[in-house]
Amino acid sequence: MGLVRFTIILVVVILLGCVTSQTLEGRVNLFGPSPTAYVGMDTLQGRHVRLTGPLADDLRKNYQGQQVRLKVVQTGPEKGPGMPAHYEVCRILGHPSP
């Protein structure tokens, strides 16, 4: 019973997270040296953020170097220079309209 309750709570938290999401727009790239490189975005507002979650790999493979709009949920704060805020990607909205 405990596992079922935990699973239900986890699903609700994830769904609420995507409901309370925000939209980011900017250029997607890999940042940092290999093997610690990560998928990130330089937003149009001049912020640098780290993108996480299963869709971050799709961004790395299919959208690297391109400007895109994303629906995201912040999962970690910015901790200073070189340590950007973390955002989990809920949805890839595609390329921005001109």
Residue 80 confidence (pLDDT): 82
User: What is the pTM assigned to this prediction?
Assistant: 0.76
Percentage, residues of the chain above pLDDT 70: 82
- Whether omega before 35 lies within 30 degrees of 0, making that bond cis, reads yes
Domains in the chain (CATH in brackets) are 22-94 (2.40.50.500)
What is the rounded average pLDDT of the residues 69-97?
90
Residue 23 confidence (pLDDT): 94
What are 2-49's pLDDT values in tens digits?
777 766 665 565 555 555 789 999 999 999 888 889 999 999 999 999
Residue 42 confidence (pLDDT): 95
